[in-house]
Amino acid sequence: MSTDPLDQPLERLLGGKTGQRLERELGLRTARDLLEHFPRRWIERGEMTAIASLPVGEQVTVVARVVSASRRPMHSRRGFIVDVTVTDDDTSRPASLDMAFFNGYDAQRRLKPGLRAMFHGKTALYRGALTLNNPDFSVLDDSEQPGREDLAPVPLYPATAKVPSWVLRSSVSTVLDAVDWSGVADPVPAGLLEDAADDGVPLPTLAQAYRDIHRPVEVRDAHRARRRFALHEALVLQGALAVRRHASAAHRAVARSAVEDGLLAALDRRLPFTLTAGQVSAGKVLSADLSRDHPMSRLLQGEVGSGKTLVALRAMLQVVDAGGQAALVAPTEVLAVQHHRSLESILGPLGWAGRLDAPDGPATEVVLLTGSMPAAARREALLKIASGQAGLVVGTHALFSGTVQFADLGLAVVDEQHRFGVDQREALRRANPGTHLLVMSATPIPRSVAMTVFGDLDLTVLPGLPSGRQPVATHVARMAHGPRIIARVWEVIAEQVAAGHQAFVVCPKIDPTDAGAADEGDGDGGAGDGGAAAARDRRHDAAVEDMVPRLQELPVLRGARIAGLHGRQDQPAQAEAMGRFVAGEVDVLVATTVIEVGVDVPNATVMAILDADAFGLSTLHQLRGRVGRGTAPSICLLATRLPDGHPAVERLEVVAGTQDGLEIARADVMQRGEGDILGAAQHGGSRLKVLKVLRHADLIDLAAGWIETHRGPDGVVAGHPALAEAVAAWEAGHVGSGDYLERG
C-alpha cells in the first residue's frame, strides 16, 4: 500500500458521501486526483461573467451582481418562487439574467441587492430570454463571511450539475489542509525550477504549487503554478520517452540488408517516373536503418502527396528481399483496401507470386486482411501470413491482434500516425519485439509537438511534391451571402465533370438523423475535432445519404454519375463505391472523411466540403490533398453557412490562404489543442493536464535537454529517485494494454 500522502482516498479525507460523489461524477478517488483537477480559470475580485456570451442549454458557472430579489406565490400549488435578477455590469455590452428559485428560503435570505455571487445551473430560454432555474449558488462577498478570501481570486473548476465549482473549492481546501506535505517528494529538481523561472522568479516547489493554483493570493501566482505543473509533465514525459528509446534500442532485430537484384531493384526498373531527390534520400536512410541489428523506430513525415507510400513500399520490399515479411497498417478498412489496391497496381507482376501467370524472376504476394472479410477469405489470408507465402500484408491495427501469426515479420509500417499515439506504439513494440517500425504522417508537425509526441522516434522529413503536382486553389463559399453561392459550387463541379474530370463532395454526417457532425471511426472530423462542431447547431449539417439524391435531382448535374460512400456501409459496398470512382465509372463521390487519407485519383480535380466549419484545420488540409494529384489545375471549395466574422469562418480562411501544411498544423494545434497525443484519442482532451506543446515549447526543450544530460546507461534518470519513481508510475499507468489492437 502506498505511503505517499497524495495517494490517500478522498473518502477518508472528505467523508464517504462527498468522496463517493466526487468519484462517481468526476472519477476523482485520491487526494492527488482532486488536487490535479485544476481550475479552468480564476476570477479577480470584482470580475463578472459576460452574460451575453452564455450558451443556451448548457451547464454554466456565472459570477454576477444581484440587482433585485423578490418573492411571489406559486399559482398551481402551494409554495413560493424567489425571482432574482443579476447583472454582469459590462459597460460596453450590459446584460442581465433572470433566475427562479422554487421555495428558495436560502436565496431570499442571502441574495441581497448589491452582493456578488457565483451561480451554477443549466441555461434555458423562457419567452425569448435566457434564464437559470433553481441554480446552486455561493455568495462571494457576503458580509457574514469577511476575511482574506473576499480579496483573493476565486478558482472556477470544471464541474458537473451535481458537483458545482464551489463544492470542489471547499473539498480542495479541506484536502490541502489535511495533507502532510513533509511526506510528499518533489520530482522536479530545484535547479530546474530556477532554470524555468518566470519573469526572474523561480517556479514553486510541488507543495507550494498546489497551494498557489488552488488558493492564489494573486492570479499571477496561479499562472506560475500552472507553468510549474507543465514543466513537471514535460520532465516526466521526456523521462518516459528516454526509457522507451533505451528499451527499444536494447532489443535485437534481424538485419534486413538490401540485395542487388531483388524485388526492390525490379520495382525501380518498372516505375514510369523518376524518384524525387527527397524520396531517394529518405530511402537511403531507411535502408541503412533496416540493415542494422537493432529495431528501426522512425517517423517519415511529408506533406500530402509527397510520395511517402512509395518510400515505404521500397523499404518493405528490401525486407521481403531479405527473407522477411512487411505489414502496412491503415487506420480504417476503407484505407486498407485502397492501399492494397494501390500496392497491387504499383507492383504489377511483381505481386503475382503463386499465380499461374506469374513471370519468371522475383515476386511476392500482397494479402489484405480486414475484420469484415468473409470467413473463408480470412482463413486463407491468415494461412498465407502464417506460412510466409504473403510477403506484404495490408490491414488495420487488427493485424497485431493475437489471432494473426506472422512467419517472420520484419517491418511494420503504420500509416497516418496522427491516429496512432505513443502508448499504441509501445504496445505494438511489446507485442512484436525486434520488429522494425516505420510510422508515417502527412500532417506536418511543429518541432515542439514532434518532441512530445514522437520523442521515441527518429525523424525523417520527405520534402517537396512529385513533379507535375499542382497547387489546389482554395476558396471559402459563404452560403450566408445568398443561394447563388451554393449554386455556383454545383456549377463548378458540373463544369469539371463536363471536362471529363471527377469530383468529391464531403459531408460531416452520414444521414440527417445523426445528432452531431461526426462520422464514427472515419476520421478526424466532426464533433470531436477541436470544438469546431460546437460553432452552431450541427443537426442540420449536410449528410451523405441526403445529399446523394439531392445532387441527382439538380438540373446542372443531370446525367452525372453520383455515388455515396461512408463508414456505416459494409466493406464490400465501400470497396465497390471506391473502386468505381477510381475506375472513372462515378463522376461525383459524396463521402464522409473516409476519403481523408490515402485515396489517389489523379482525375479528381474539384472538392466541395459542405459545412466545412465542422472540421479541424488539419482534417481540411488532408481532405484537400485528395485533389490536385494529377497535372490538371484543381480547386477546393469550403462551404459554410456561418456569417462573416465568425471565428469558425476565420479558421477556414487559414486553409484558403495557404498551402503550407506546417502553418496550418500550427494554427490547428493552437486552436484545438493537441488531443490525446499519448493514446488512441487523437483530438479533444489530452491526458496531459497542463502541458501544451506549442505554448510550452521552451519547457519541453528544457526538460528534454535535462533528461539527456542526467539519464543513466539504462535510460533511467540517475540521482533523482523522486523523478525516477514518477516516470515509473507514468509508465505503469500509461502503457496501453493493447486492447486497441483488437479494433478496426
Q: How far is CA 515 from CA 93, 423, 440, 541, 599, in A?
A: 33, 31, 33, 10, 28
Other beta carbons within 10 angstroms of residue 15's beta carbon come to 13
Helix axis angle for 165-178 and 16-26, nearest 10°, is 120
Provide, rounded to the nearest whole percent, the portion of the chain with pLDDT above 70. Answer: 85
Tell me what pLDDT residue 737 has: 33
Is there a contact between 608 and 637 (Cβ–Cβ < 8 Å)? yes
Average pLDDT over residues 414-435: 69
438 pLDDT higher than 90: yes
User: For the ranges 158-167, 246-255, 533-542, which has the lowest average pLDDT?
Assistant: 533-542
- The sign of the CA dihedral 177, 183, 186, 189 is positive
Average pLDDT over residues 505-526: 64
Place of cell 451554477: 120
Place of cell 462515378: 586
Alpha helices in 518-628 (DSSP H): 544-553, 571-582, 617-624
| Residue where a domain terminates, one of 639, 658, 677 | 658
Tell me what pLDDT residue 550 has: 96
Tell me what pLDDT residue 573 has: 87
Residue 202 lies in a domain: no
264 pLDDT higher than 50: yes
- The boundaries of the domain holding residue 99 are 46-151
* Whole-angstrom Cα Rg for the chain: 29
Residue 29 lies in a domain: no
147 dihedral zone (left: phi>0; alpha: psi -120 to 50; beta): left
**How many angstroms from the chain centroid is the CA of residue 600?**
24
Residue 736 lies in a domain: no
Which residues are within 8 A (CB) of 697 and not within 5 positions of it... i.e. 6 or more apart? 446, 447, 448
Is there a contact between 698 and 220 (Cβ–Cβ < 8 Å)? no
Torsions phi, psi of 8, nearest 5? -65, 140
Tell me what pLDDT residue 508 has: 93
Residue 483 lies in a domain: yes
Nearest alpha-carbon partner for 86 in 94, 74, 98, 75: 98
Instruction: Judge if 440 and 516 occupy the same domain.
Output: no
Instruction: Judge if 621 and 578 occupy the same domain.
Output: yes
Residue 718 lies in a domain: no
- Residue 254 — pLDDT band, cuts 50, 70, 90? very high
Which residues are within 8 A (CB) of 177 and not within 5 positions of it... i.e. 6 or more apart? none
Tell me what pLDDT residue 520 has: 38
Instruction: Judge if 487 and 449 occupy the same domain.
Output: no
Torsions phi, psi of 506, nearest 5? -105, 135
Residues in the chain: 744
HSE-CB at 357 with a 13 A cutoff on CA atoms is: 2
Longest alpha-carbon distance in the chain: 95
Instruction: Judge if 638 and 605 occupy the same domain.
Output: yes
Per-residue pLDDT tens over the stretch 642-685: 988 888 888 899 899 987 776 777 777 666 555 444 544 333 33
CA 39/CA 157 separation, integer angstroms: 4
Q: For residue 561, count CB atoms less than 10 angstroms from its CB and return exposed for 0-12, middle for 13-18, buried for 19 or more.
A: middle
Place of cell 441587492: 113
Instruction: Judge if 434 and 523 occupy the same domain.
Output: no
| Residue where a domain terminates, one of 625, 658, 691 | 658
> 55-64, 155-164, 374-383: which has the highest mean pLDDT?
374-383
Q: For residue 405, count CB atoms less than 10 angstroms from its CB and return exposed for 0-12, middle for 13-18, buried for 19 or more.
A: exposed
Tell me what pLDDT residue 612 has: 95
Instruction: Judge if 317 and 368 occupy the same domain.
Output: yes
Instruction: Give the H or E element holding residue 395.
Output: strand 392-395
Average pLDDT over residues 362-387: 92
Tell me what pLDDT residue 425 has: 66
- Residue 505 — pLDDT band, cuts 50, 70, 90? very high
Residue 607 lies in a domain: yes
Is there a contact between 566 and 519 (Cβ–Cβ < 8 Å)? yes
CA 61/CA 203 separation, integer angstroms: 30
Which residues does residue 616 pair with via DSSP β-bridges, in sequence order?
none
- Terminal Cα distance for the chain, rounded: 38
Average pLDDT over residues 277-306: 89
243 pLDDT higher than 80: yes
The C-alpha torsion from 569 through 574 and 576 to 580, rounded to 10°, is: 120
Instruction: Give the H or E element holding residue 11.
Output: helix 10-14
Instruction: Judge if 453 and 525 occupy the same domain.
Output: no
Residue 385 lies in a domain: yes
Q: Which three cell numbers stand for residue 565?
A: 460512400
Instruction: Judge if 514 and 555 occupy the same domain.
Output: yes
Which residues are within 8 A (CB) of 724 and not within 5 positions of it... i.e. 6 or more apart? 239, 716, 717
CA 460/CA 281 separation, integer angstroms: 9
Average pLDDT over residues 592-614: 88
Q: Which three cell numbers stand for residue 672?
A: 484545438
Q: How far is CA 538 from CA 551, 619, 647, in A?
A: 21, 18, 16
Nearest alpha-carbon partner for 361 in 371, 372, 346, 351: 351
In the chain, how many domains are there?
A: 3
Q: Hey, which bits of 464-526 come out as E strands?
A: 472-478, 502-506
Per-residue pLDDT tens over the stretch 173-201: 999 999 999 999 999 999 999 999 988 89
DSSP single-letter state for residue 158: -
Q: How far is CA 74 from CA 83, 97, 101, 106, in A?
A: 12, 21, 11, 17
Q: Which three cell numbers stand for residue 707?
A: 533528461
Instruction: Judge if 440 and 584 occupy the same domain.
Output: no
- Residue 427 — pLDDT band, cuts 50, 70, 90? low
Is there a contact between 688 and 233 (Cβ–Cβ < 8 Å)? yes
Q: Bigger pLDDT: 736 or 32?
A: 32
402 pLDDT higher than 90: no
443 pLDDT higher than 70: no
DSSP reduced 3-state for 579: helix
Q: Bigger pLDDT: 694 or 500?
A: 500
Which residues does residue 743 pair with via DSSP β-bridges, in sequence order?
none
Which residues are within 8 A (CB) of 495 and not within 5 positions of it... i.e. 6 or more apart? none
CA 646/CA 162 separation, integer angstroms: 33
**How many angstroms from the chain centroid is the CA of residue 438?**
20
Tell me what pLDDT residue 90 has: 75
Nearest alpha-carbon partner for 588 in 615, 608, 566: 608
Tell me what pLDDT residue 317 has: 97
Is there a contact between 110 and 135 (Cβ–Cβ < 8 Å)? no
Place of cell 519541453: 700
Instruction: Judge if 517 and 451 occupy the same domain.
Output: no
Whole-number average pLDDT of the chain: 84
Residue 51 lies in a domain: yes
Is there a contact between 407 and 365 (Cβ–Cβ < 8 Å)? no
Which residues are within 8 A (CB) of 106 and not within 5 positions of it... i.e. 6 or more apart? none
DSSP single-letter state for residue 688: -
Per-residue pLDDT tens over the stretch 455-491: 667 888 887 666 566 789 999 999 999 999 999 999 9
Tell me what pLDDT residue 143 has: 45
Instruction: Judge if 489 and 403 occupy the same domain.
Output: no
Alpha helices in 443-557 (DSSP H): 447-453, 483-498, 544-553
Instruction: Judge if 436 and 481 occupy the same domain.
Output: no
Tell me what pLDDT residue 345 has: 87
CATH of the domain at 103: 2.40.50.140
738 pLDDT higher than 70: no
CATH of the domain at 271: 3.40.50.300
712 pLDDT higher than 50: yes
Tell me what pLDDT residue 188 has: 96
Per-residue pLDDT tens over the stretch 42-87: 877 667 788 888 888 887 888 889 999 999 998 878 889 999 999 9
- Residue 448 — pLDDT band, cuts 50, 70, 90? low
Tell me what pLDDT residue 146 has: 39
Q: How far is CA 696 from CA 196, 443, 456, 646, 692, in A?
A: 11, 20, 19, 28, 6
CA 47/CA 13 separation, integer angstroms: 32
| Residue where a domain terminates, one of 101, 126, 151 | 151
Is there a contact between 679 and 421 (Cβ–Cβ < 8 Å)? yes
Type of residue found at 328: L
- Residue 273 — pLDDT band, cuts 50, 70, 90? confident
- The sign of the CA dihedral 181, 242, 429, 593 is positive
